Amino acid sequence: MTVVVDSAIDPIRFEILAHRLWAIGEEGRIALQRVTASPIVAQGGECMCSFYDADGNMILACSGHLRFAAATSDAIKRLIEWFDDEPGINEGDEFILNDPYVAGSHTYDIMQIAPIFWEGKRVAWVASSSHTADTGGVLRGAATEIYHEGIRLLGLKIVEAGAFREDVFKTITEQCRDPEYVGMDIRSRTAANNVCRAGYLELLTRFGADFVEAAGRRLIEDSSRMAREKLTAIPNGTWRSRIYGTYRDPMTRRAMPYQVLCAATKAGDQLTLDFTGSSGQLENDQNSTLPSTMAHIMIALTNRLFWDLPWSDGKMDPVRVIMPERSVLNCTFPAACGRSPRVGQYVVEAVSQCVSSMLFAAGEREDINAGWGSFWYLGGPGYFYGGHNAQGLPNPQGLYDTHGGGLGATPLRDGVPSGGQQNIPSGGISDIERIELQYPFLYLSRSHNIDGGGPGAHTGGAGTQRLLIAYGSQDLTVDFTPYGGLPHGAWGLFGGHPTGTGGTRSLLAPAADVSGRLGRGDYPVTADEAVASGWAELTVPAGNPGRIPVAEGSLLADFTQGGGGYGDPLERAEASVVEDLRNGLVSVEQAGRIFGVVVDGSRTLDPTATAQRREEIRLLRVNGARTVAPAHGDSEWATRVRFHEYLEAGAYGSGRDVIRCVECGTVVCDATQNYKQHVVRRELSLGELAGRRLPGDGEYIGALVEYACPTCAVLLAADISCPEVSGEDDLWDIQLVS
């Protein structure tokens, strides 16, 4: 954390206070994780502690789940508006709230908020939040209104004047399937608030109330000023992104696409994010409330642009957001929003893509990543289980192996395989042993997902794949969605592919004598192996129901998100592709089909065949013939801005500003035009890229569109296209300002 202070505040004391405040927040977060009953919190890190001034403005957040901290500012301001007079906000109180139309993403995001008093005056607030998967209501996959999604709390006092309210506690927990689990989560948040409040009071005693209050203002002011300075260093322009998802159509029950569009316009020290054109509100639970969308915008900006500022509300001062009403990003009450975090993740990816390209134009290569949330497809059995485990305990929680997803590639290196999840800097993936203790499952495998990372000159990190067997439950169910044959949340940078093609997500019905074969130590580790060896048969339920039963002995195959690629895959070092082959990150088929690397039976590079294959791919990109770059005589080229790995804007001599290819010097178009409409466009089948169909009768509903330089055939962009929702337009992703 970097802070900047002026002479009005002693800089040494300020540094001590600022870092101590961060440490107190971390201590509170750790206390929460030690008390909670939830694996997604204890090991996955879905929790947060943060501090706010007397009016509810965030002073500082710790390294937990970033959307929780961003959402709580609005919650505190509502509590003051609603309850300051009646029943009153007093010393020793603590409020519990989970209404996603006030703050948070869905009813499963529960926050507990406590005022801090000093000498009888309310001087600050502390908040702790975490994900509690059980709030009563219907199980995931069936909600169409917020009323279906369990108990909705707008600010009850769970602690009053320092006394824990057992009446409120019991009323909440008894609305849920697993009162003990929900109760432990409530007590864990109270424990975190107790730690943070005690730490804050120590700061007041040590530094004095006036200094602590002034330091809080300074943290917010520093964040605002430093955000403006960062924006000022970026060239003016507009950057655009399009992210796709799919949902179940209520009439046909088939997978239908929707889109999140973002236009990020940077002018001076201001940033405007315009989501006009994003799809309308959906008739299921895959909607995002405005507070949730705003929280996810803050996640993206904190991760990509403002990571080295104090994590306070000040960093949003120079940011303006345009959000269409009744859209999938700003749904209207009482729309269901249980899957709001999925939509929110697409918001994160849309903003992140724009910001990464902006940062490249500013020369900030160290801060750039391709996408972190790319799925080749979604659909099939999900994460949210119901029923009981082998001990008869309720099982209303989800499995979150997604916290071990692959990270995006950078201009300088590959993305990290199974490296994390960008919403939670301090997150992690749950231990298999702990999952098996609480859930009715045995893991047959959890490993890197071959072909799971987006190809590029630097490849995206592979996520994980898993194969589970249902064990010890007679009533297990899981949410189910129709297969959406469209990459979700996916984007690469500057010719890098948006996602890898690996992984299977499916329910597999068991063959005979599963227990006997397990006893002999004979078991598969992938879905393909399970089917090929006769262990199980891939099944897709008729009619795409919202939930499906999982019989004892059934297998469940799944994969997590991978990172997007960076740069043209043909520019990846041949030796790196061979190493990926040997490490199980890339298949022989993908090595040849996308990277153009050919190996023999021992996986040793064939240099001659590789050179031929790479030239074949380049010719395919430009429809079999390359143009010749025009000569420009002795005119000297002057670069105005390098805005792309392979493109720059500038002029020859006193001529007009144009865009040219960095690799070969070919002039593509005027600097005021969309370069994609002046290069070679090629559309590729998603099925051919993957080399397989979707499970069952699922059909791909999109394509990969490549844009290549007509002369050297370097790959400039690899975009997902879905004309069904967005038409045939070539998205103008980088629009320079003259």
Look at residue 4 and tell me if it is in a domain: no
Residue 454: pLDDT band by 50, 70, 90 thresholds? very high
Distance in angstroms (rounded) separating the CA atoms of residues 97 and 89: 15
The region of weakest confidence among 17-21, 437-441, 560-564 is 437-441
Same domain for 558 and 663? no
Range in 224-228, 279-283, 689-693 with the lowest mean pLDDT: 689-693
61 DSSP β-pair partners: 50
| Mean pLDDT value across residues 424-446 | 88
Q: Which residues pair with 547 in a beta bridge?
A: 479
Choose among 667, 648, 661: nearest CA to 714.
Answer: 661
Q: How far is CA 558 from CA 2, 320, 343, 381, in A?
A: 40, 38, 20, 8
115: in domain: yes
| Domain co-membership, 120 together with 200 | yes
Same domain? For 549 and 634 the reply is: no
Q: Is pLDDT of 187 > 60?
A: yes
Tell whether the model's pLDDT for residue 5 goes beyond 60: no
Shared-domain flag, residues 523 and 639: no
Domain check: are 53 and 151 in the same one? Answer: yes
- 262 in a domain, yes or no? no
User: 182 and 94, same structural domain?
Assistant: yes
Instruction: Assess whether pLDDT exceeds 80 at residue 27.
Output: yes
- Distance from chain centroid for Cα 690: 23
The whole-model pTM stands at 0.96
pLDDT band for position 390 (cuts 50, 70, 90): confident
Residues with Cβ within 8 Å of 16's Cβ and at least 6 positions away in sequence, in order, are: none
Same domain, 544 and 651: no
Please tell me the total count of domains within the chain. Answer: 3
Q: Decide if 468 contacts 555 (C-beta within 8 A).
A: yes
Predicted local confidence at residue 628, as pLDDT: 85
pLDDT of residue 44: 86
Query: Is residue 89 classed as helix, strand or coil in its secondary structure?
Result: coil
Average pLDDT over residues 170-183: 94
The DSSP output letter for 119 is: T
Listed residue (660, 659, 665, 700) closest to 683, CA to CA: 700
Q: Are residues 50 and 141 in the same domain?
A: yes
Q: Which of 532, 567, 602 is the last residue of a domain?
A: 567
Question: Does residue 1 have a pLDDT over 50?
Answer: no
Q: Is residue 610 one of the residues assigned to a domain?
A: no
144 and 213 part of one domain: yes
- Residue 410: inside a domain: yes
Contact 139, 479 (CB under 8 A): yes
Q: What is the pLDDT of residues 33-48, one digit of tens each?
A: 999 988 889 888 899 9
pLDDT in tens, 641-676: 999 999 999 999 888 999 999 999 999 999 999 999
| The domain boundary residue, chosen from 549, 567, 585 | 567
Residue 582: inside a domain, yes or no? no
Is 80 exceeded by the pLDDT of residue 512? no
Domain that holds residue 475: 370-567
Q: What is the pLDDT of residues 141-165, one digit of tens each?
A: 788 999 999 999 999 999 999 999 9
CB atoms within 10 A of CB 589: 12
Please name the residue that has the structure tokens 């692959």.
406
Do residues 268 and 292 make contact, with C-beta atoms less than 8 angstroms apart? no
Q: Please calculate the CA angle 284-289-294 and round it to the nearest 5 degrees.
A: 140
Q: Is residue 726 part of a domain?
A: yes
Q: 634 and 561 in one domain? A: no
pLDDT mean over 449-457? 97
Residue 408 has pLDDT above 90, yes or no: yes
Q: Strands 658-661 and 237-248, how do they pair?
A: unpaired
Helix (H, G, I), strand (E, B) or coil at 701: coil
Residue 170 has pLDDT above 90, yes or no: yes
Question: What pLDDT score does 519 carry?
Answer: 81
Beta bridge partners, 159, equal 94, 164
Statement to judge: residues 524 and 387 lie in one domain: yes
Contact 482, 368 (CB under 8 A): no
Which pLDDT score, from 0 to 100, does residue 199 have?
98
Say what the pLDDT of residue 37 is: 86
Q: What is the mean pLDDT of the chain?
A: 93
pLDDT range class, residue 738, cuts 50, 70, 90: low
pLDDT on residue 726: 87
Residues 543 and 628 in one domain: no
Residues 705-735: tens digit of each pLDDT: 999 999 999 999 999 999 999 887 899 999 9
In a domain, 586, yes or no: no
Interatomic CA distance for residues 544 and 252, integer angstroms = 10
Q: Which of 163, 198, 225 is the last residue of a domain?
A: 225
pLDDT exceeds 50 at position 29? yes
